[in-house]
Structure 1
Amino acid sequence: MQPFFSTEEVHPKTAFRRWREMVCERLAPAALQADDAELFRGKLEVTSIGSVPISHLAYTRLRTEATADMIRQSRRDNRVYAILRLSGNASYQQGDQEAKTRPGDLVVLNARPTVCMMDANSSLLLDLPRERIETVLGSSRLFSAHTISGALASTTLAHTYLRELVRVGDKLTPDAAERMASIGIDLIVASVAERMAQEVPRSMHGNVTVQRAKAYVEAHLGDPSLDPPHLAAAMGMSLRRLQELFHERGRHISDYIWERRLEMAGKRLSDPACAHLSIGMLAYGCGFASQAHFARRFKERHGMSPREYRQAHRQNVPSVASAFGRSFRSAK
């Protein structure tokens, strides 16, 4: 990670004010209060793994509040924040929901008024697209400001993976970084889904089970063995019961899996970072057993072959040279 700001480089009388200004500009507008401003110490390191901005924050005791007006000002209601607690304790309150976290725990916050109380601590903060998370888990109001315990196996795995990813991130190629970041998001989704499955009202159990199943699908799309029986076994239930739950929501399990695989394939075909991948490699990476099977399903979905789809998107992306030329001409 790259150092971004440290109060060690600032006079103690102005350190907290500078920290407050930096947080509001870099992360999100908020009202910050320290027990003793002149004794406050803080450090921020930043990086991006693929398209996911990640911040490492370490600071002394602090209270933070984001009001509705501040959230509107930030214009970031399309984001959610996953916070992995590395050291110290913290509490987060949104509405009538409060999460108390210890080292190893995880919490997700959405764009709502929030009050945070933190002891001297450090954490990793991931800035994530809300749509990506809600596509699998449903509205973020269902899981924001809930303590996701580090005792859960999925949370332990997410912590270990993301800390290691941050450590080696600068050694990854852009394509590998994007893929690794996507896996990290899937692990966070799996942790949230496992937490949601605990102590839910029986009337909500079907919704939570389907959300857990979708989270599992997202994390295993590249596995060609992923099919309805495999998914049911992973959920610890009969295939018939899982099919009933999907049918109640107007879906078929197999259709959902293939739709997600085709959506992933479409994104990779249109992504310049994946241009070096052959159609066959891309198909296998999205869980298709053969290139012919992939080509047939893709054409049924998009009305053109994978190769034609890739070429069409290349034509819609201006080259760096032509973009530079336009900028140079406009500057003249």
Structure 2
Amino acid sequence: MPAGMYSVESLSTGDVAPCERAEFWREHIASYQSRMGYRYSRADNFRGETIRQHTDAYQLVRFWSDEIEYTRTTRQVRQDPDENYRFLLPLSGDIVLRQDDQEARLTPGTGALVSFGAPFECLQSASTDAFIFTIPAHEVDGPMNRKSPLAAGLDLRRGLGRVVGSMLNGLYEERDDLTDPQFNAVSDRVVELLCMLAVGDDRPDVPGHLAQVEAMVRRYVRGHAADPELTGAEMAQALGWSLRQVQLALQRVGTTPRELIREERLRLVRDRLRCAAFEHMTINDLAYASGFSSASALSTAFRQRFGLSPREMRYGSR
């Protein structure tokens, strides 16, 4: 399978003998997650199932299993570095997550972000059914202006949280009818909403007006990112607010109008690099069509954001 292609894979411990299931599960999880410890309540006949959807950018796994405890120690963090985040969302059962002197008890309707870049303990009750969504670190650290473990419970029962849960469930239900660009595009939006949800949870005293301004600014920038003349002042005027209002709304989530415009332009280029409909466009063409002043300006910003050049992303995904 070419690198970057969307794939769906299913696995069940029912495919092996009962006495082999615990080791089978450990090897299976270790094949796509970083190094962890496993403690089983009944290792002689452990039962578990996974359905894994992934590209080179994101991974969504729905899993069901018997009671188990996962741990990631300081030594494992050092020996097998992994700065990426996982978003945990139980659909049944409960999960207790401990990290960075915080504890979150997750039940259906609550979720949490956990960093694999720091030690943690994750205790899962029997017959737990849950999603675990892998998110590249740069997709969280940049938008949230932070780099630290997160273990706070997030409410997925109403409002923005419910939208996030519905989108993850939609990705799962439509798993057999998605393409690589489609899976990545929806995953991008899920992460964006998760960051907004997490920041809002950390700052419940932020006036609702600023949150509304932020949401509308993001929609406007997404729709006009390719305009090379787009600026903070221009978007403020178009939306009927002062530039100061726009700046304050974005400041609360750790960004600025200029940074948001650049971020949306980079996402636009990335999506086009992954899409066959834009294969005829050179990197130079993509730069100008996405609001950048030159191919070199695009390449510099793109490498800083995604860790590789536009050309490397285009040919590395084939």
TM-score, with structure 2 as normaliser: 0.73
Equivalences for residues 47-62 of structure 1 within 5 A: 47-48=53-54, 51-62=57-68
Classify the secondary structure of the residue corresponding to 1:18: helix
Amino acid at match of 2:132: L
Classify the secondary structure of the residue corresponding to 1:107: strand
Amino acid at match of 1:127: T
Shift of 1:159: 0.8
Distance (whole Å) between structure 2 residues aligned to residue 276 and residue 177 of structure 1: 19
* Distance change in 2, residues 1:231/1:10 (3 Å): farther
Q: Which of residues 129, 132, 136 in structure 2 aligns to 1:129? A: 136
Shift of 1:198: 2.6
What do you get for the CA RMSD once the two structures are aligned?
4.2
Distance (whole Å) between structure 2 residues aligned to residue 213 and residue 175 of structure 1: 29
Higher Rg of the two aligned structures: 1
Q: Which of residues 139, 159, 163 in structure 2 aligns to 1:157? A: 163
Distance (whole Å) between structure 1 residues aligned to residue 194 and residue 201 of structure 2: 11
Deviations 1:214-249 (A, max 9, x none): 78755664234993478898xxxx864553576899
Distance (whole Å) between structure 2 residues aligned to residue 23 and residue 167 of structure 1: 22
Distance (whole Å) between structure 2 residues aligned to residue 149 and residue 73 of structure 1: 34
Q: Which of residues 90, 97, 104 in structure 2 aligns to 1:99? A: 104
Deviations 1:248-286 (A, max 9, x none): 999753x3443233333443454454516989xx99xxx
Q: Is residue 25 of structure 1 aligned with residue 31 of structure 2? A: yes
Residue in 2 that maps onto 1:138 = 145
Q: Is residue 45 of structure 1 aligned with residue 51 of structure 2? A: yes
Amino acid at match of 2:235: D
Amino acid at match of 1:100: R
The structure with the greater share of residues assigned to helix is 1
Distance (whole Å) between structure 1 residues aligned to residue 20 and residue 93 of structure 2: 25
Residue in 1 that maps onto 2:261 = 258
Distance (whole Å) between structure 1 residues aligned to residue 224 and residue 80 of structure 2: 42
Distance (whole Å) between structure 2 residues aligned to residue 104 and residue 249 of structure 1: 24
Shift of 1:94: 0.7
Residue in 2 that maps onto 1:307 = none
* Distance change in 2, residues 1:156/1:299 (3 Å): same
Shift of 1:183: 1.8
Distance (whole Å) between structure 2 residues aligned to residue 98 and residue 258 of structure 1: 36
Distance (whole Å) between structure 1 residues aligned to residue 293 and residue 103 of structure 2: 48
Residue in 1 that maps onto 2:278 = 275
Distance (whole Å) between structure 2 residues aligned to residue 11 and residue 316 of structure 1: 42
Q: Which of residues 228, 243, 249 in structure 1 aligns to 2:247? A: 243
Distance (whole Å) between structure 2 residues aligned to residue 193 and residue 228 of structure 1: 23
Classify the secondary structure of the residue corresponding to 2:223: coil
Q: Which has the higher contact order (CA 8 A, sep 6+)?
A: 2
Instruction: Answer whether contact 1:190 1:215 (CA < 8 A) is retained.
Output: no
Q: Is residue 84 of structure 1 aligned with residue 89 of structure 2? A: yes
Classify the secondary structure of the residue corresponding to 1:136: helix
Equivalences for residues 106-121 of structure 1 within 5 A: 106-110=111-115, 111-120=117-126, 121=128
Residue in 2 that maps onto 1:227 = 235
Amino acid at match of 1:299: S
TM-score, with structure 1 as normaliser: 0.70
Distance (whole Å) between structure 1 residues aligned to residue 23 and residue 14 of structure 2: 13
Distance (whole Å) between structure 2 residues aligned to residue 212 and residue 115 of structure 1: 36
